[in-house]
Amino acid sequence: MYSKASNKEQYGMLYSDSDNLVTIYIAFGLGLKDRSGCHFSAINCHGTQMYDTTFDPNPTANQLGLKNLCDTLYNLTSQQISDYRVKIDSTTGTPEIACFTKDLETFLAPMNWQLIMKIN
């Protein structure tokens, strides 16, 4: 018994802070999976992914809603970051939050500036 414990101590994987992390993906436009082709006892049957055909990301209100959600995540207070236990990047000291609207906003910023310059 002692030799098994000693072996695990020497050659086992060490505990890490990243072992208890959960990655959360927020996705829009997805519907419930169709599992009609799955037998109720088939644990490996994942079904067919269905999409919400009524979801349209193009209206301004929907785009602003997505942007506001991302802005809320990026502007969490230090208390909220602590409460939600958001992982902090060890090199930059910022929360590890990724949202596509931030990259899109950065990409579109020079284009908007050029567009404003051409109009004026």
Residue 32 belongs to a domain: yes
Does 1 fall in a domain? no
At 10-44, the pLDDT tens digits run 776 666 665 667 788 888 888 888 888 888 888 88
Q: How many domains does the chain have?
A: 1
- Asked if residue 14 is part of any domain, the answer here is no
The enclosing H or E element of 8 equals helix 2-11
Whether the predicted pLDDT of 89 surpasses 80: yes
Cα–Cα separations (whole angstroms), residue 74 to 28, 89, 98? 19, 14, 8
Domain that holds residue 69: 22-119
Secondary-structure percent of the chain, ordered helix, strand, coil, rounded to 5? 45, 5, 50
pLDDT at 15: 61
Within a domain: residue 9?
no
Among 28, 29, 20, smallest CA distance to 52 is for: 29
Q: Is residue 114 part of a domain?
A: yes
Assigned domain for 54 exists: yes
β-sheet bridge partners, residue 48: 34
Provide the strand spans (E) within 1-120. none
For residue 12, being part of any structural domain is answered with: no
**Position of tokens 């208390």?**
79
> Nearest to residue 48, comparing CAs of 33, 66, 65, 32?
33
Q: What is the pLDDT of residue 115?
A: 44
